[in-house]
Amino acid sequence: MNISRRNFIFGSIASSVFISLWDIDPSKAEIKIGDNPEDKKLLMKMCRDVYPHDRFPEGPYEKTAADVISKGNKGSENKAMLSEGIESLKKVKYGKMNFKKSTKYLKKIESSKFFQHVRSTTVVTLYNDPEVWGLLGYEGASFDKGGYINRGFNDLDWLPEPRIEEHPDLAAFLKADPNRLAAIEEMIKTN
């Protein structure tokens, strides 16, 4: 199964899910586009500008940029896309742009294949990273720990305890003729 088929399956927006999760065997391309510290730094900045989380350390963005590079090296078409994309970032001195300017620039190139590659890879890889789960306060897999039944599934204490049973009038409400119900509501409103 090649990349274009994966793109086809999921559609352009979410294609990277398949690329991210099905390709456990990264291509051993001879020339790796973007696989040098300078380019990687540039892509890390782009990943962070597209999905900015000020409190996240560099680690998750570094892993995400590595994924952007790895997937961008699959096939000659992708390589050309990644190479052109990085060159255009350099040309506009993207590395020196502040967040506001970066966002404005990214908005301009939003429909490009390069932007879509970076964005769609990042949204899957970044938010599927257990390090990010920890940062966001998501505890993830729980079955082996006995679920959340004794670990806070109902620990919210800033609102009152709600009723869990159905309202005694529910059965009558569901049975009522809808036209009659509407007429009664109207009557209440106008009175």
Which positions lie near other proteins, rule CB under 8 A?
8-14, 17, 21-22, 50-53, 55, 103, 119, 123-124, 126-128, 132-133, 136-144, 146-149, 151-156, 158-167, 169-170, 173-179, 181-182, 185-186
Among left, alpha and beta (phi > 0; psi -120 to 50; other), residue 25 is beta
Find all residues with CB under 8 Å of 185, minimum gap 6, and list them.
none
- Minimum CB distance to other proteins smaller for 21 or for 80: 21
Cβ 120 to other proteins shortest distance, Å: 8
Asked if residue 60 lies in contact with residue 122, where contact means CB atoms within 8 angstroms, the answer is no
- Minimum CB distance to other proteins smaller for 36 or for 142: 142
Cβ 109 to other proteins shortest distance, Å: 12
Burial (CB count within 10 angstroms: exposed 0-12, middle 13-18, buried 19+), residue 27 = middle
Cβ 31 to other proteins shortest distance, Å: 29
- Minimum CB distance to other proteins smaller for 38 or for 110: 110
Cβ 116 to other proteins shortest distance, Å: 9
Q: How far apart are alpha carbons 24 and 67 in whole angstroms? A: 11
- Minimum CB distance to other proteins smaller for 36 or for 53: 53
Nearest alpha carbon to residue 51 among 109, 112, 132, 108: 132
